[in-house]
Amino acid sequence: MELRLYNTLTRSKDLLRPLDPLNVRMYVCGPTVYDHAHIGNARPVIVFDVLFRLLRRLYGESHVKYVRNITDVDDKINARAADRSISIRDLTEETYRWFREDTAALNCLPPTVEPRATEHIEEMRILIERLVASGHAYVAEEHVLFNVPSMPDYGRLSRRSLDEMMAGARVDVAPYKRDAMDFVLWKPSAEGVPGWPSPCGIATPGRPGWHIECSAMSWKHLGETFDIHGGGIDLVFPHHENEIAQSRCAFHSGVMAQMWMHNGFLMLEGEKMSKSLGNFVTIRELLDEWPGEVLRLAMLSTHYRQPINWTRQGLGFAAKTLDKWYRVIGDVEAETGEANPFETEIADRLADDLNTPSVIAHLHHLAEVAEHEEASSALRRRFKGAANLLGLLGDTETGWRARQKEAIALDEGVIADLIAQRIAARKAKDFKRADQIREELAAKGIVLMDNKDGTTSWEVSR
């Protein structure tokens, strides 16, 4: 099977040819840990989890290395810790724990390595000193800056003109910069701000710029060049452009990663998500209301390169779909591996630049096939195995099934009894009691529907 992925570097769907098929290497930019991750942050986590699963199937589980970093040194972190009057370490630990819980609830596999920036300061210092020694960086007023004009093909990834790049980078004008485009590799830390011994003989302790972190961590865990580098489309410039500049100039290599992949933006109900517009929603808030599996399916319903419009309606569709699919599989075990032709059909579609909308359409078709073939549980096992490749129908603790079981565990007699009590309360005009019963059942996942004939029916909610 050939895996083709859209490569931002070449602007075409390229065939993945791993540098070493026994060690396929992928790096994805991870979270800056200072607050709950929002649903836009979940997009790369889910998209690259699907790719990770596919790579493991194609090359073998032990032959794929997926690195996703944790940025735990950043001015936003310092400011938030000060606001909350807690230590920086407590803030980053707590936020990282939330992130792990959220992504596990979305049924994402943990990456092979999750390196922390603060544990790779030494690698950053080495890279910075190399760049200074080779004339690509310089020291000025206790800062170390990368000199952009020292790299003739800077800007190849984003293909922007220098003017566009200047505007996009919101360039800080600083008197010590040789060129307006030059960016910070290292900066001095004032008292009370985290600082480490500085490179290049700078006396004042300092801290790294953001871009150098990823060059250092990918080098440490994946080597000087590797196969795939991923992240959100907003990272193409300046972050990824600068990562490339640092790594290529430090290692004198033609590429940092062979394949650069970027997921599109996420809009919330048709609008840009922003705290100031008040339409900012965290993964955790959504998980309070929906099983993680619903969020996952909703996210994968749009191709990863397209902008996604995140809506309640989309979540509702995803929930209905899962409801149906779980009904189809019943209690069968999944059949996984190459012997399962359904799984191969799904893998083929994924191998075409992760075409998840096509995969989901095909799963709908396979569900129909499995549903109508009542005599054969083999088909249902195959269908389940195929969905597993996308990280769905896995019977996870946080999945759809767990929620259903919880609701079904309520004795039907108890539900009928409560409904009768509610009807009586309404007749007696005790609406407070009637509402109380409705809410009590809703909390257990039971939705009541009042019929025209005066009876009340119920169903298991999402």
Instruction: Tell the smallest beta-carbon distance from residue 224 to Zn ion (Å).
Output: 16
Give the residue among 10, 25, 47, 7 at the shortest CA–CA distance from 295. 47
Note whether 29 binds Zn ion by CB under 5 A: yes
Per CB under 5 A, the segment of 21-29, 40-48, 128-136, 218-226 that binds Zn ion is 21-29
Considering beta carbons, is residue 226 or 310 the nearer one to Zn ion? 226
Peptide bond into 152 cis (omega under 30): no
What angle (nearest 5°) sits at the alpha carbon of residue 107, between those of residues 302 and 336? 90
Per CB under 5 A, the segment of 6-14, 25-33, 273-281, 312-320 that binds Zn ion is 25-33
The answer to whether the beta carbons of residues 297 and 322 sit under 8 Å apart is yes
Considering beta carbons, is residue 123 or 335 the nearer one to Zn ion? 123
Considering beta carbons, is residue 131 or 214 the nearer one to Zn ion? 214
Instruction: Tell the smallest beta-carbon distance from residue 213 to Zn ion (Å).
Output: 7
Considering beta carbons, is residue 115 or 399 the nearer one to Zn ion? 115
Instruction: Tell the smallest beta-carbon distance from residue 219 to Zn ion (Å).
Output: 12
Interface size with Zn ion, residues (CB under 5 A): 2
Considering beta carbons, is residue 24 or 214 the nearer one to Zn ion? 214
Q: CB neighbours (10 Å) of residue 262?
A: 21
Instruction: Tell the smallest beta-carbon distance from residue 387 to Zn ion (Å).
Output: 32
Q: How far apart are alpha carbons 21 and 25 in whole angstroms?
A: 9
Instruction: Tell the smallest beta-carbon distance from residue 242 to Zn ion (Å).
Output: 9
Instruction: Tell the smallest beta-carbon distance from residue 214 to Zn ion (Å).
Output: 3
The answer to whether the beta carbons of residues 48 and 26 sit under 8 Å apart is yes
Which x/- pattern, by CB under 5 A, does the window 200-239 give for Zn ion? --------------x-------------------------
Instruction: Tell the smallest beta-carbon distance from residue 29 to Zn ion (Å).
Output: 3
Q: How far apart are alpha carbons 380 and 347 in whole angstroms?
A: 18
Considering beta carbons, is residue 106 or 214 the nearer one to Zn ion? 214
Query: Alpha helix (H) ranges present in 330-376?
Result: 341-350, 356-372
Residue 38 carries which DSSP code? B
Phi and psi angles of residue 278, each rounded to the nearest 5 degrees, phi first: 75, 10
Q: Residue 129 is encoded by which pair of tokens?
A: 């000193």
Contacts of 432 (CB under 8 A, 6+ apart): none
The answer to whether the beta carbons of residues 52 and 13 sit under 8 Å apart is no
Considering beta carbons, is residue 68 or 381 the nearer one to Zn ion? 68
Enumerate binding residues for Zn ion (CB under 5 A). 29, 214
